[in-house]
Structure 1
Amino acid sequence: MNNKKYTYPSVLTIAGFDGSGGAGIQADMKTISALGCYATSALTALPVQNTTGVKSIFSIPEQVVGDQIETILEDIFPNAVKIGMIHTSKLVSTVVNVLKKYPSLPIVFDPVMVATSGDKLIEDKTIQSIIEQLFPLASVITPNLDEAEILADMKIENVEQMKIAGKKIMELGCQSVLLKGGHLKTEKLTSLYFLPNGTIESFEFQKFQTNNTHGSGCTLSSAIASYLAQEKDLLEAVSLAQNYIHQAIENGKDVAIGKGNGPVNHFFNPQKLIKNELDR
């Protein structure tokens, strides 16, 4: 051990499975790796899915999930954590009970409730557990408009309604919220970032004519975690991650993978693993 000089910024992803490789824990690990960080993982669920949709979901026992997280934390302690699919109340409690021991650990939570295909991925009774337990723990949450409509209990059809919904979600106990506007029927994609100090940052991007956006939410949230692991502040991490997912969609928009919603191109510009010198 004494002759080792470097380590890598590491990101732990706690998320569900996607055998088609475009979303979930697979998308997270691709993203973390492409951005120069070391990826570790804990599996929360086994959805049976491909690019056309989710066929069924098999649960992982809560103790197994908790043991996975504890085992990684005691050996490869992460610089940031990304949380994705947490689909039962018991699982929420399991994850929170482990992570709340580390209050300074940056956590990005993507409240996965609805898949790109429109399939609902979460039990209704779990939503309140997520709000009460996970929202206060997360440095930033990243709902899409479908998820934001559930959380804010309102329809969202324009940017002004996004602002109202984002403020409502912040009032649920969030530290910060990135509200993704990709589902709006507008020429440009607008996302709003609600900061802890009450300000709102707006991000606008060109929209692409493509259905290759499978796993884009997973990719964005794990990109934010990767930049936080590199010691970027929240606003810079959110900004850099949005640029990353925009380019990943652009570089994958014309690729044929699967018969449904295809994946983004996680490796359009892969980075070498970042070397951090070990403290002596």
Structure 2
Amino acid sequence: MAEQYPQALTIAGSDSDGSAGMQADLHTFFRRGVYGASVMTAAVAGNSYGIHDSVNLPTSFIDNEFKALADDYHIKASKTGMLSDSELILDVVKNYTKYDFGPLVVDPVITTKHGNVLLEESAYKTLRDKLIPLATVITPNFFETQKLAEMEINNEQDTEEAAHKLQQLGAKNVVLKGRHDNSDQKQVSDYVLLESGEGFFLHDTFHDTTRVNGTGDSLSACIAAEIAKGTDIKTAITIAKKFVNEAIENEIFVGHKFGPINHWAPKE
């Protein structure tokens, strides 16, 4: 009976301001009715103005985090967030393949939503070649999709082609997040390609706000939470899209500059 409650795992860095990373994942797990466990890979000192310092945890400690959870919990789905170098990525791959932590949702944190590169090329290649093949679902932003698919995306046909290229990298189900860096745009369109071959767009209203920290984290966490509850992949993705859009639409004013999305806003 103790292991029947749905449990999900975030493998990510800790953001001290609570707006993104592991904290955004745990906020999302809680709101979706899932018990959230965590493997901390790094710690970030930051606030709404930016990141001021960061440190990676030793891989020996990360190994012990994985083992401690495997010895006691029944994790039914997992997700990854920012993994900053090849050593961390390889350690996560080693542990995820060693233990049964359910389907994996990979948020491939390579660039920001505005196109700024976050990973060195060696770490990018490790993520592409070692982690992405383990993904049940992958959720890249627009610029990450272009990087992974090695092509420019200018229209819907390009988007669909890119999704198939990401499946060829090993990801079973693909969620390509649309651009949202233009204040004049009216909507955001994400493209979904399922393992079955079914593909479709999800459209929603674009909200011009600086309160978007943790958007990608929360989308991937919501998908993982729904999978942990037994929801099918297609439904999990559509629920996550709606959850994040409502969290962006209903702003919460925390911090002075770039703030978090509002995890309280989405309806059950």
TM-score by length of 2: 0.91
Instruction: Judge which range, 37-46 or 90-99, deviates more.
Output: 90-99
The 1:110–1:177 alpha-carbon spacing in structure 2 relative to 1, beyond 3 Å, is: same
User: Structure 1's 237 and 231: CA in aligned 2 closer, same or farther, altered over 3 A?
Assistant: same
Q: How far apart in 2 are the matches of 1:245 and 1:237?
A: 12
Taking the TM superposition and a 5 Å limit, the aligned residue runs for 1:72-111 are 72-102=69-99, 105-111=102-108
2:78 touches 2:101 (CA, 8 Å); kept in 1?
A: no
* Residue 154 (structure 1) shift: 2.6
Contact 2:134 2:170 in 1 (8 A): no
Cα drift, residue 19 of structure 1? 1.1
Whole-Å separation in 2 of the counterparts to 1:56 and 1:124: 21
Deviations 1:247-267 (A, max 9, x none): 111122xx3222322111112
Structure 1 residues 212 and 184: alpha-carbon distance in aligned structure 2, compared to 1, 3 A threshold: closer
CA distance in 1 between counterparts of 2:163 and 2:2 reads 44
The 1-side partners of 2:16 and 2:116 are apart by: 16
Are 2:92 and 1:122 aligned?
no
1:56 shift after superposition: 3.4
Partner Cα separation in structure 1 for residue 3 and residue 129 of structure 2: 39
Distance 2:38 2:2 in 1: 24
Q: Report the alpha carbon displacement of residue 16 of structure 1 after superposing the two structures with TM.
A: 0.9
Which residue number corresponds to residue 242 of structure 1? 241
Cα deviation code 1:57-96 (max 9, x no counterpart): 3111112112111211211121111111112212122111
List runs of 5+ in structure 2 lacking aligned partners.
none
1:152 aligned residue: 149
Residue in 1 aligned with 2:40?
A: 43
Q: Residue 214 of structure 2 corresponds to which residue in structure 1?
A: 215
Closer, same or farther: CA 19–116 of 1 in aligned 2, 3 Å:
farther
Give the conservation status (yes or no) of the 8 Å contact 2:9–2:37: yes
What residue number does 1:166 align with?
A: 163
State the shift of 1:114 in Å.
2.5
Aligned counterparts, 1:134-213, within 5 A: 134-183=131-180, 185=182, 186-213=185-212
Aligned to 2:19: 22
2: distance between equivalents of 1:190 and 1:95?
A: 31
Instruction: Provide the identity percentage.
Output: 33
Give the SS at the match of 1:14.
strand
Give the 3-state SS of the residue equivalent to 2:250 in structure 1. helix
- Paired AA for residue 233 in structure 1: D
**How many Å separate the matches in 2 of 1:78 and 1:151?**
29
In 2, Cα distance between the equivalents of 1:220 and 1:107? 14
Distance in 2 (alpha carbons) for counterparts of 1:166 and 1:5: 39
CA contact (8 A) 2:8 2:76 kept: yes
The higher-RCO structure (CA 8 Å, 6+ apart) is: 1
Q: Tell me how far 1:240 sits from its aligned partner.
A: 0.8
For normalisation by structure 1, the TM-score amounts to 0.88
Q: Alignment partner of 2:133: what SS?
A: coil
- CA deviations on 1:91-134 (whole Å, 9 max, x unpaired) are 12211112113568111110112245765432321111112211
CA shift for structure 1 position 48: 2.5
**2:12 matched to 1:12?**
no
Native 8 Å contact 1:213 1:261 kept in 2: yes
CA RMSD of aligned residues (A): 2.1
User: Paired residue for 1:278?
Assistant: none
Q: Give the 3-state SS of the residue equivalent to 2:203 in structure 1.
A: strand
Shift of 1:6: 7.4
> 219-228 vs 168-177, which deviates more?
168-177
Which amino acid counterpart does residue 20 of structure 1 have in structure 2?
D
Which ranges in structure 1 are unaligned for 5 or more consecutive residues? 272-280
In 2, distance between residues paired with 1:79 and 1:107?
9
